Amino acid sequence: MSEKLKHSRLFLWCIQVLRVCGRELMLVFRDQGVVIFFLVLNALYPVLYALIYNPEVVRDERVVVVDDNRTAMSRDLVRRMDATQEVAIAGYAANMQEAQEAMHRKACYGILYIPRDFAQSVGRGEQGNVSLYCDMSVMMRYKAMFTALTGVTQAMGGEKMAAVVEPVISMSGAIVENRQVPVGNPAMGIASAVLLFILPLVLQQSMILGIAMLHGGSIERRRRNGGRDPLAVEASPGATIVGKMMCHQIIYVIPVIYVLHYVPLMFGFPQYGNLLHIICLAVPFIVGVSFMGQTLSAVVNERESVFLLFVFSSVVFVFLVGVSWPRYLMSRLWYVVGDCVPSTWMANGYVLMQTNGATLYQVQHHYWMLWLQLPVMFILAYVVERFINRRRYRSWIAASEDNPNVLTRIDLAKNGVG
């Protein structure tokens, strides 16, 4: 008899999960705001972000030269700069003021200043200095000009060093051979280096915002209906959490494939990973984000509050993932905080797959860390659902039975009325 009872309880629990999942699917597609977060944001935001950096490598950036040295060496430096693919010399300026005026007119985006003692310092075996002033409105311009100047000055310095040790070179060849081989990012572009980290963050942020907006809508309905949500399904806390998670998994099948596979394909970003392995890595990631979103939604009281509470957090997640600042240089506190966020493991594992061709086995540490987060995230979501949300709902129902207008007054007070 007890076995039958256990089986019947499990069966009823599964029915509750399916009912919650169906209810959530219905609420998602009836809510335009949630559809925008779950589907439209994932469809458009990665494309718009990629277009900002398209083309991701700049060519022939205009630079004006202020040459106070006027020697053969300074002219050779300028010719070499003009010969690079990153820089095009737009002309000479008599002084820095004239060069700055050209930059203000957008006739150039950089100024190369060669001081009066440049050739003399190099001739004496001392360090010769040149200065590069860049328009920082677009970081790619600075990167292109700095790369060109670094390459030219290193080449000239190498030739001077070779002249000193020419007898040794003639007998044994070059002392040091410098060869640049880009690995994982053949275009050496910013988008290829940055956007692959951002794509999992887009999925995470859109899901958190959508889950929080759904919860805010439920809170508003309960205020209008004496603490009860007419669209809610009677289910245990665990069935509620799992049912919502199943809904999110169903909805995000297409966005995951689109964002993680087709967006890099459209823009020619590194794509050496196996799609099946990427999907396997994304499964625990989506489950973990669903549980995290249900946990964080406890602080949401209105649909609109998600913009104030969670939109800014995307910047925090970008830093925690290590794209703006290396994780090994973070303080221990922020390193641990980053380990607790699903996007940290997903983004780093995904980048290893796409840029270095790593298999799921080779990123198994990231994979198992995502699975390890799930029981912790589930427990947090369960605590929030059972001991915070449902206690609040019961108190609202009890207060409404004593005074039917109490929740209406609270709602009006929150909006500055009454």
pLDDT tens-digit series, residues 201-233 = 999 999 999 999 999 999 989 988 888 999 999
Q: What is the pLDDT of residue 153?
A: 87
The whole-number average pLDDT for the span 259-276 is: 92
CA atoms within 13 A on the CB side of 142: 7
Q: What is the pTM of this model?
A: 0.80
* 337's tokens: 């905080």
* 8's tokens: 């019947």
> Where on the phi/psi map is residue 268: left (φ > 0), alpha (ψ -120 to 50), or beta?
left
* 125 exposure class (CB count in 10 Å sphere: 0-12, 13-18, 19+): exposed
**How far is 362 from 35, CA to CA, in rounded Å?**
36
Q: What is the pLDDT of residue 165?
A: 60
Q: Cα dist. 57→183, 262, 356 in Å? A: 16, 21, 21
Answer yes or no: is pLDDT of 1 > 60. Answer: no
Q: What is the pLDDT of residue 193?
A: 79
The whole-number average pLDDT for the span 278-283 is: 96
Share of the chain above pLDDT 70, in %: 88
Answer yes or no: is pLDDT of 38 > 60. Answer: yes
* 88 exposure class (CB count in 10 Å sphere: 0-12, 13-18, 19+): middle
* 399's tokens: 């207060």
DSSP per residue over 6-74, as a string? HHHHHHHHHHHHHHHHHHHHHHHHH-HHHHIIIIIHHHHHHHHHHHHTSSSS---EEEEEEESS-SHHH
Answer yes or no: is pLDDT of 308 > 90. Answer: no
* 286's tokens: 């989506």
Radius of gyration of the chain (CA): 30
Bond before 237 cis per omega within 30 degrees: no
As beta bridge partners, residue 89 has 63
As beta bridge partners, residue 114 has 67
DSSP letter at 299 equals: G
Q: Order of strands across the sheet with 87-92? A: 87-92, 61-67, 110-114, 131-134
Q: What is the pLDDT of residue 415?
A: 52
Highest mean pLDDT among 236-240, 299-303, 409-413: 236-240
Q: What is the pLDDT of residue 368?
A: 97
DSSP letter at 132 equals: E
Residue whose C-alpha is closest to residue 200's, from 65, 349, 56, 1: 349
Q: Assign 119 a pLDDT band (cuts: 50, 70, 90).
A: confident
- Helix 342-356 and helix 275-296: axis angle, to 10°? 160
* β-pairing verdict for 131-134 and 61-67: unpaired
Q: Assign 188 a pLDDT band (cuts: 50, 70, 90).
A: low
Q: Fill in the amino acid letter for 219.
A: I
